[in-house]
Amino acid sequence: MPDVVASAAAPPEPQFASLRQQSEVASIGIWAFLATEVLFFGGMLLAYAVFRKAYPLGFAEAGRETKIVIGTINTMVLLTSSVTMAGAVYAAEGGRRRLLTLLLILTAALGLAFVGLKGLEYSKEYEEHLVPGIDFAFASPHANAIQLFFFLYFMMTGVHAVHLTIGIIVVLVMAVRAGRGAFSPAYHSPVEVTGLYWHFVDLVWIFLYPLIYLNGRVG
């Protein structure tokens, strides 16, 4: 039995003619912002492409040192969090306050699990002297290339983790607001916007995963 809360949505801001226009503009705005994020990550991807092409053996050897178990579990966690986030948006559209709140909290929890596992992964890599600039050491003729790989690994996953952390905070804020009944079928664009951002962070990881974890696994 849906518990639709008839919350009176605030009037649109003065520059908008209607709440519908305001919601649509918010959606357009976040998509435009996500386009900029593609280029933000793109710079690092170019560096990755350049060095992988230049040092195929070094990058393959480095790829074997990545923690594929943690990486794969993390991928599952993040993909699942996208499902719960998408579910949250459906719940918002349907006015299901409790379901919405629950799914948002679940999404944030999965995000936190990802960050936690990432931290574990980083600490292992630190113990194995794989952190460039901080006592990096690797016995191999390809040591330079391996250091370059790990530099890009830490930069790309680090920047990704920062984005994810921001997302977790925003999702939790949305969860609090949702719990207080701020959203309704007529007004839930903040949830949609949050969802779009969250899915984008997932998209970045979908491409980082094979580039980081799946290289050099043959043989």
| Segment 38 to 67, residues that bind another protein, using CB under 8 A | 38-47, 49-51, 53-55, 57-58
Report the residue number, 58 or 111, with the smaller CB distance to another protein: 58
* 3-class DSSP assignment, residue 33: helix
Give dist(CA 58, CA 160) in Å, integer.
24
Stretch of residues binding another protein (CB under 8 A), selected from 118-126, 144-152, 166-174, 183-191? 144-152
Angle formed at CA 182 by CA 178 and CA 188, multiple of 5 degrees: 85
Measured from the CB atom, the residue of 19 and 45 that comes closer to another protein is 45
Tell me 158's DSSP state.
Answer: H
Give me the amino acid identity at 53.
K
Asked if 103 and 86 touch (Cβ cutoff 8 Å), the reply is: no
Whole-angstrom CA distances from 39 to 20, 32, 43 are 30, 12, 6
What is the Cα–Cα distance from 186 to 201, expressed in whole angstroms? 27
Cβ 9 to another protein shortest distance, Å: 18
Tell me: does residue 11 bind another protein (CB under 8 A): no
Structural tokens at position 88? 């949250």
Q: What is the largest CA-CA distance in the chain?
A: 67
User: In the range 160-189, which residues lie near another protein by CB under 8 A?
Assistant: none
The span from the CA of 9 to the CA of 27, in Å, is 18
Q: Binders of another protein among 73-112, rule CB under 8 A? A: 75-76, 79-80, 82-83, 85-87, 90-91, 94, 96
Question: With respect to another protein, which residue has the nearer C-beta, 101 or 147?
Answer: 147
Q: How many residues bind to another protein according to rule CB under 8 A?
A: 82
Task: Look up tokens 């370059």; give the residue.
Answer: 148
Shortest approach of another protein to residue 68 CB, angstroms? 8
To another protein, the closest distance from the beta carbon of 43 in angstroms equals 4
User: Does 35 help bind another protein (rule: CB under 8 A)?
Assistant: yes
Q: Any contact of residue 202 with another protein (CB under 8 A)?
A: yes
Residue 21 lies near another protein (rule: CB under 8 A): yes
Distances (CA, A) of 175 to 67, 182, 191: 33, 10, 9
Q: Does 153 bind another protein (CB under 8 A)?
A: no
Please identify which residue in 31, 120, 124, 186 interacts with another protein, judged by CB under 8 A. 31
If one asks whether residue 127 binds another protein (CB under 8 A), the answer comes out as no
The pair of three-digit structure tokens given for residue 35, joined into one six-digit string: 């386009």
| The only residue of 1, 8, 15, 127 in contact with another protein, by rule CB under 8 A | 15
